[in-house]
Structure 1
């Protein structure tokens, strides 16, 4: 069928071109998306820059036409003649090829036809690579010129020629076996064998199907104008794909190519493999190692990933619909809101590849006898996707954080105080978890909060340093005055009764007080302030408010008596109790309610670092829910 007829029928809405012969036709730049070319003969067909999205090439025959096989053979014969050496080898090869050509054109069966074609093309690849070795040998010889040195080499010419035959044959075999040492020779041989073959250069083959297709001597390389799009292509049981020109596509990796053709990666290694856009639907990747692999835009519908290692894989835009993920390691995997986890079949996963110091791989769910209910895995990771976590070094300065968070809210209207999900201690640091929308720029939110917080901390430290300098100057002045007074008394002068009050109290942003006489906040003073606030609640006529005061009083006592808390941590915790007490006095104040939510999260973060046996940790697990309920949080 001619190309014009195909295009006419396609324009009329016909998509069925099964079992048609399209040998040597030209469809460069044409739109044939969705067409069915299954079992078609497309040898020598030019699909360069064509739109073949979703096109079906099942059982199609691509590659070389008969005349191009002869042209390639003639080209090889010409090179052989120019080489001018090893006539015996050429006689053997030519005689064998003549017999093969005879059988190629006269064998009655399709099976014998394919065998002859395979032998012919293999001979072309072998001889092309072999001739590179021969020509190199001749060049090295002729560089000597017709000198006495050259004539002296003639005696060894026979032995050198024989060695070249063996080397050429060895190199050819190793190159076609995929030996990396001969990759350049192999690429050259395949390039020559693809001359005149089916061309998909620069074509859009997204979601095309090449199941059982014959692809020897087919060209999938990119052109200067555009790349060849191979996203979602189905390669199951494609024949002789390793003898096609694959360019820089994911198919250039032999392990990836084998996976896409066989659909079986059981216990195999794909470390750092490029699987971007690959069609992995239904593949068996049980116990496979995919560490650092790029799975972006790939589809893994119903793929078997049981016990697979997905540590630090890149899975942006990846579709895991109905995939089996039980027992998989998801340590540090990279996903976002474009990652599809719909209907994932997963009973449990691990967050660590190797056990930690306690021999724990961080199983989820934690309990060994518990498993995820249907849909739980997707809910868990969908929630985890829509969060931003910011690590604040050396603990959290409450004043600095309040100012930084206020700036963050002004720049991101979708973020409110309710966005604060948790504040947890991570050693000496504090981990703040914020909930964000799916479309939020997480990197920008994290950067804004962190940089603003660090800037606020620097400003506070500068103010503290200024106060220290003022205090040092004041102390020096007092010392000089006392020295002068003592001197006057010794010489009989009048005693100087000078009362100097140099204490300075500076309030920073209304929440943090620094005094020149004591830059560390007095734990006793804060405790008294909190006690006064709780006492106000106790005077209420409302039984609920009185009960709240009792819980807060108990919490205050436990915090002050907790031996595992440092004084700074006690001060911070008591500040939160004071906030809760103020909210109890004004239950309708929405601002105080939001601050109370934050206060509860900070208290939870504080006790998270305590041993499980600590009285405060045990009591808070009961008191905080009661207090939250009383305040309507």
Structure 2
């Protein structure tokens, strides 16, 4: 109860009261439970006064010194305390509802258990204040200094905290629903389990803040800085994240269903296991983001940069990936069903073990991509760039591979059953261990490819280019090798073959009966180490060839130049294969041989005309007789080809010499 003497002095006015306080500084005034309502105490000195449970309703206390005063339980509702000094005061349990405390100094004061609902605390200093169990609903705390204040267990719903200083404040499990925190510096703040639903955090700084398990449903996070913040397990359904900076934030298992993340910066953000189903991510930046195991089904990712992103085991079914950059991305084990990947840049990404069956990759860039063990059955790879791609163990059965570039790709142990490989470039491709049984590889370019341990039984290799191809330990039984093209670099070691056909429709069987003995296939087809092929597309005049070959030997040496084989091709064409030294200039030998042949051919034609004095038809008949391979074979039978060439060439040389005289 207030001391009557003190209360009487107080009622005499501010001037008398302040004078008495100065003269009796050793006395602590007691105005407890006094009714001081509607009193004008503006600019009064009430420091350290005892005013517990006093009724100060409607009192003007603006710019009053109440530092250290005891106002516990006091009724201060609607009181003007603007710019008042309440530092260190005891306001526990006080009723301050609707009071004006703008720019007041409440540092180190005790406001625990008080009622501050609807109170104006804008610009006030609440540093280190105890606000535990305080009701601050609807209060204006804009620009308030709340650093190191105790807000545990308080109700802040509907509060305006825009621009407030909350450094060092523990807001874990605090109800901040619907409050205004726009533009507030909340960096490093602890919001674990807090209720921030429908809260306005636009433009706020939440860098490094801990928001794990927080409720952010419907929160306004536009242009908010959430770099390096922890948002794992956070509920963000309906939150506005437009242009929000989430670089390096932790959003593991966060719920972002249907979220609008237009142009949001998610660089190096951890979104593993998050739910982004149906979210609009157009223009968002995901460079280096961890999206492993994330649900992105039905998501619009058009125009998004996903380079170097981890999307392993992510659910991307029916997502829109048109025009996006996926270079360097890890998509291993991802669900891409129903996704249109046509003309997409997938260069260098990891799709190992991914189910891509029936996928549309028309015109896509899959160069240097890891597709090992992937399921591409029935996929459309028309015109796709797969150069240097790892397709080892992949399932390509029934896939459309027309116009696909496989140069340098690794297709070892891949399943290509039922695929159409016409027009496909397989040069320098690793095809080891593949089952090509019954496949049509006609006209295929297999130059430099690895087909070791390949099953080519009953395959068709008509006019196939196999220069420098590795067929080691391949199975050629029943294969058609009509006009296939191999060279000395083609490897035919340890071939498994019972018989082959040199013509289509199983014609020209080799051997004609029985089976090849071990090594016979290689001996039959293996080219010499160094050869030059002389091609005579319009037939050959053997006399002219023998004469030109003699002169060629004279230049290069008989020991360095010999005929390995003579082949008759379709349409009257001939191929004469010469063995040459390894160091020889094969292009120069071929050029010179053809040049000499033309010289000798022209000389012989002059002789034919002089001797026969015949018409062109007779000359053509005579030349045809000279070009008859059967006549040549009869002349060469049972005699070494080198001796035949020498003897015949000399005879022709003498004949020509006589004619020239």
User: How would you bin the TM-score normalised by the shorter chain?
Assistant: 0.3 to 0.5
Which TM-score applies when normalising by structure 2? 0.38
Query: For the pair shown, which has the larger CA radius of gyration, 1 or 2?
Result: 2
> Which protein is richer in helix relative to its size?
1
Higher relative contact order (Cα pairs below 8 Å, separated by 6+ residues): 1
